[in-house]
Amino acid sequence: MLGRLVLLSAVAVGWVTAQAYKPEHKIEHTADMDFLLKQKRVYQIMYHSNMPELKAELHKEGQEYDVEANKDNYTNKEVVTEFLRRYEHGFLPSEADFSIYHPRCLAETIAVFRLLYYAKDFDTFYKTALFCRNRISPSVFSYAYYLAVIHRPDTKFMKLPPLYEITPTYFYNRELLEKAHHYKKHGQFVPKHSAGYDAYVIPYNYSRVSSEYDYEQRLAYFTEDVGLNVFYYFLRNMYPFFMSSEEFGWPKYFRGEEYLYGQDHLFNRFYLERLSNDLGKIEDYDHSRPFYPGYWPSLDHPNGQQFPSRPADAYFPRDKYKKIREFEEYESRINQALDSGIVYTKEGKTEKILNYGGINILGNMIEGNADSCNPMYYGNIEALGRNIIGFGSDPDTSNNPVSSALEHLVTSVRDPGVWRLWKRILDFYRRYKKNLQPYKPEKIRFPELKIESVTTDRLETFFEPFDVTISHGLPIVSEHEAKDHVVQTRQYRLNHKPFKLYINIESEKEVNTSIRLYFGPKYNVHGQEESLQQRRPYFYSLDMILYRLSPGMNKIERDCNDLFFTVEDSDPSEVYYKKVLDAIAGSGELKYQQVVYGFPQRLILPRGRPEGMPYQLYVHVSPLESDPLYYWSPTIGESLLDSRHFGFPLDRPFHEHEFHGPNFYAKDVLIYHSMENDVGY
């Protein structure tokens, strides 16, 4: 997503020529009454959804609705038949463990999602959701419901309650949640007049372990950031692995590439955070050797079961041996495809992948998604790897499976094991790129313009307090208690001071261009300066702009708040819902943007140092080879796409003597860090 969805939308306004501008998908729109009424209903369905009887009128409406009697109100009647068949047989009980990587959980989630998705109109969708809310496991329902809201056209741009409010057990340890049950004893009563409510606030720190040698804990403020965890959940649910592009009308030509590039950019962002904490590149692992990083999540499933832990330097359990053999077989087949440049399709034919569309085939194959050319032969090594490294029990061999943190998208990035798994997966991506020919000089050079300068304001990071409402996910006895007892937790999270980017480009003529900005390392963990060729795989995309240059000097100013894929933190539910109600009553307006589930804007810069942490900003300008491609995303809105591959021109190895020109610019930058409120890592 970070690749294809970073592009500036110019659908409505044409090419950008102004010196300072806001991307179209970040322009605020005023919600009309139709949007407001739908948004209210979308939001209120998740009101204490684990206790559907609490909201009497919603519970009553859900009880009165009959799916079978309204079968004609669904555009795909087969999904109704499938849902009713499963419903009669019996869905998972509420207390059962849930993971989208467990076969039964997945099958039931798909059945509920498709029922919601194929509702003929919004009213049918709403009533169907209430029906399922009353009768289906809260975990299955909430996952399917979030998917449906993301992908239905009539809920476009609508917000959902933040996941850390709905299921706080996935984000906060059992010690905090136990304190939350006794909030009057452990919390501080804080009047929040500007927000319109009062709250009990409980301080909360990031996870710590006793071993002084567990260096991964230095990164807990990043990996446990609730905004980052929610972002990853939506990143992977843009195109869930179990949904096919053909059924839902998604463009097929970059799904696989987007999967690899999105993972690659998040991985690179993580690497820069490691550098600022004196940690180097992530090591590889061998299934026959002890797995280095341990993980003690201290989290509970909603049913009260504890997430499994993994000791440091532990051998893989014997019940994982079969999975390990499967993983290594699939890994071998993928490597053969990379070396030969040929894959085998499910029809028994061969297809070449060392061409323009090959990276998309490879990505679908590695993810093992519904568009994979041969899922039986190439499998789903990511799902297997999650099961192996997570040390959770296998649902195929246990009557009471307990899924690991790696088998939940909202908890994945907390486990240092997932970054080792992604490194292994991304080795395929980088190996594929290495097998391609370097770009020819005429493809990357553009002598008719010159980047004269690139500058920034002072870049400075700091930690700030952030209050999260967790009472929505706690058991309560009445609606009155829900309204009058807001419980929040206060945690310090990484942010940066506002800044702007300034790019001056001299052009000989008027020309449509793509301006790409990358951010990456300057030195390795030992303080040694590396060549751009060595550092190239670790840059991540900071911005991309479609821009019409005018003859002469072009002064481009870019505000950090307008970077293409970022979003501000969501308002607490009680604040946002009140804005919706006020707008419906005519006492205010509700503003919304097309970008809904992007990367946290405050995390675009890695943590600096008091004396300044060196990084490098890399800028490349290229002319458009063809007309931009129109793209619609359920989370980012409308965009125009450059036809070049993600990461161009840093996505392939290059010859140092050819990789330069007036349209290239490398800018060394320092990121400073304020020690006030530092979390102490």
Q: What angle do CA 378, 379, 380 make, to 5 degrees?
A: 125
Q: What is the pLDDT of residue 213?
A: 73
- Indicate whether 528 pLDDT > 70: yes
Q: What is the pLDDT of residue 546?
A: 86
Q: What is the pLDDT of residue 254?
A: 82
User: Which range (196-210, 299-313, 339-353, 484-498) has the least confidence?
Assistant: 196-210
618 touches 455 (CB < 8 A): no
- Indicate whether 636 pLDDT > 80: no
Q: What is the pLDDT of residue 598?
A: 87
Q: Which has the closest alpha carbon to 158: 22, 29, 7?
A: 29
Q: What is the pLDDT of residue 181?
A: 83
Please report the domains of the chain, with CATH numbers, ordered by start residue. 47-159 (1.20.1370.10), 215-435 (1.10.1280.10)
Q: Which of the residue ranges 47-56, 188-197, 265-274, 542-551 has the most confident prediction, judged by mean pLDDT?
A: 265-274
Q: What is the pLDDT of residue 136?
A: 94
Q: What is the pLDDT of residue 408?
A: 96
DSSP state of 300: B
> Given pLDDT bands bounded at 50, 70 and 90, which one contains residue 539?
very high
**Interatomic CA distance for residues 546 and 508, integer angstroms:** 18
Alpha carbon distances (Å) from 435 to 255, 354, 377, 429, 646:
21, 8, 22, 10, 16
Tokens (6 digits) for 53 = 């009887």
> Given pLDDT bands bounded at 50, 70 and 90, which one contains residue 643?
confident
CA 35 to chain centre: 25
Tokens (6 digits) for 295 = 């993980």
Bridge partners for 38 per DSSP: none
User: Which range (90-94, 533-537, 629-633) has the least confidence?
Assistant: 629-633
Q: What is the pLDDT of residue 645?
A: 86
Bridge partners for 514 per DSSP: 546, 622
Q: What is the pLDDT of residue 203?
A: 92
Element (H, E) at 258: helix 255-276
Tokens (6 digits) for 235 = 């990143």
Which of the two residues, 554 and 625, has the higher pLDDT score? 554
471 touches 184 (CB < 8 A): no
Q: What is the pLDDT of residue 49?
A: 83
**Interatomic CA distance for residues 479 and 338, integer angstroms:** 58
- Indicate whether 345 pLDDT > 80: yes
Q: Which has the closest alpha carbon to 307: 381, 395, 411?
A: 411
> Given pLDDT bands bounded at 50, 70 and 90, which one contains residue 586?
very high
- Indicate whether 392 pLDDT > 90: no
2 touches 541 (CB < 8 A): yes
Q: What is the pLDDT of residue 303?
A: 86
- Indicate whether 16 pLDDT > 60: no
- Indicate whether 289 pLDDT > 90: yes
Q: What is the pLDDT of residue 631?
A: 67
CA 473 to chain centre: 22
| Arithmetic mean of pLDDT over the chain | 89
